Amino acid sequence: MSRVYISAQQDYDIDRLIKAVDEMFTSFGLYEKIEPGSTVVLKPNLVMRSAPEEAIITHPNLVSAVAVCVQRQGGSVLVAESGGGVYNPTVMKSVFRGCGYTAAAEQYGFSLYTDCRSQEVELPHGVRCGRLSVIEPYIQPRKSLVIDLAKLKTHGMMGYSGAVKNLFGVVPGLMKPELHCRYPEKEPFAEMLVDLCEYVRPDFSIIDGIEAMEGNGPTGGEKRFVGALIGSDSPYDADLAGAEIINIRPMDILMLKNAHERGLCAADTAPLSVLGDSISSVLVPDFKRARSSDVDFITRVPRFLQPLAKKITTPYPKIQKKNCVGCGKCAESCPQHTITVREKKAQIDYSRCIRCFCCHEMCPKHVIDIRRFSVFNL
């Protein structure tokens, strides 16, 4: 049976979060899978070093609440993640510390993975992608449970970021741009994400949608209160509910469309059994989408004009030169190496730009905008 648990929350009060997570785990029988002495791996969204109140990362209080529930069953918790930049122990310790995870780990007794080991693996269920690199705690076959702790956000390239997209973080650091380079178009990239999700196969997924991000996410948007925790034993079902809550048609999300075509989820939330609170109780009908969303009329113009129409309407990254500090994070994350830093200002060679928006995503100063041809800004 396809099920999803919705828990309406007003804030990140740790006691209420523990209660909500406990209800989710009980409803889905997850406690029965946690054996005393076993390790449960938590996969948060830590795309970059960011304070919890910016709504870019999975809030550390949610991670702590999950850890408390696991520990009550005699299990231990390991938090493992790889952001979008360089992946090494020094960087990850800094990210954990800056995101509030180091303090939370000390207070609630869970561990943070900083060994930063990875290896290339085969994806036995891969349709688009057969091999890629994965960080150590998620390599199959594994003995530990995996809980996917995503953040509800819009996304510059894929439109939506939730439980499925969050698993891209098991790919180590700068191997992510390589995958953007291998799959520069949205549809193949979405297929690769589903291939990866089918490899990791999280035992449970929770989407942190209490404070979400709308607009030009996943790092440069605006914080928006939604007040929802979404839980499911299927990352696809969790994303179906997440999409409906922020008023995005599920089949407009390419990861869900591809998963539906593979028979991994329904086309919408109608077949889902909703536990806890109703989806309507946390619905945000005016949630702002990323400006990179596709323009519908492209498919309506004559076929011979579609390449030109796509080129004109495809959004592009634009650097705010006066605010750029020349840190080089955008150049570091660019899969096509189209960005250079000259005189402490970043510059983009648009002739080779694939519009993956990695630069927008990884800019620590949020000075790379998503722009579209001026008529679409009216």
CA atoms within 13 A on the CB side of 378: 3
User: Structure pTM?
Assistant: 0.86
Nearest by Cα to 253 from 343, 159, 181, 176? 159
User: Do 304 and 259 share a domain, yes or no?
Assistant: no
Please list, in sequence order, all residues whose beta carbon lies within 8 angstroms of the beta carbon of residue 37, skipping any fewer than 6 positions away.
74, 75, 76
pLDDT at 344: 87
d(CA 322, CA 302): 41
User: Do 176 and 276 share a domain, yes or no?
Assistant: yes
Q: Is residue 288 included in any domain, yes or no?
A: no
CATH of the domain at 302: 3.30.70.20
User: Do 240 and 146 share a domain, yes or no?
Assistant: yes
User: Do 75 and 110 share a domain, yes or no?
Assistant: yes
Q: Is residue 214 included in any domain, yes or no?
A: yes
User: Do 114 and 200 share a domain, yes or no?
Assistant: yes
Range of the domain at 342: 296-377
Q: Is residue 273 included in any domain, yes or no?
A: yes
pLDDT at 299: 46
d(CA 83, CA 362): 9
User: Do 266 and 324 share a domain, yes or no?
Assistant: no
Amino acid (one-letter) located at 298: I
Classify burial at 56, counting beta carbons within 10 Å of its beta carbon; exposed 0-12, middle 13-18, buried 19 or more.
buried
Structural domains of the chain, count: 2
Alpha helices, H only, 213-344:
235-245, 254-261, 306-313, 329-333
Q: Is residue 13 included in any domain, yes or no?
A: yes
User: pLDDT tens string for the chain (378 positions)?
Assistant: 899 999 999 999 999 999 999 999 999 999 999 999 999 999 999 999 999 999 999 999 999 999 999 999 999 999 999 988 889 999 999 999 999 999 999 999 999 999 999 999 999 999 999 999 999 999 999 889 999 999 999 998 899 999 999 999 999 998 998 898 889 889 999 999 999 999 999 999 999 999 999 999 999 999 999 999 999 999 999 999 999 999 999 999 999 999 999 999 999 999 999 999 999 999 999 999 987 654 444 444 456 555 655 555 567 888 998 999 999 999 988 988 899 999 889 999 988 888 888 898 789 988 888 776 544 443
CATH of the domain at 249: 3.40.50.11440
User: Do 262 and 311 share a domain, yes or no?
Assistant: no
User: Do 20 and 62 share a domain, yes or no?
Assistant: yes
User: Do 161 and 111 share a domain, yes or no?
Assistant: yes
User: Do 165 and 88 share a domain, yes or no?
Assistant: yes
Alpha helices, H only, 2-72:
14-27, 60-72
User: Do 200 and 277 share a domain, yes or no?
Assistant: yes
Alpha helices, H only, 141-185:
163-166, 175-182
Classify burial at 90, counting beta carbons within 10 Å of its beta carbon; exposed 0-12, middle 13-18, buried 19 or more.
exposed
Domain termination residue (choose one: 255, 282, 309): 282
User: Do 270 and 337 share a domain, yes or no?
Assistant: no
pLDDT at 124: 94
pLDDT at 294: 46
H or E segment to which residue 91 belongs: helix 89-98
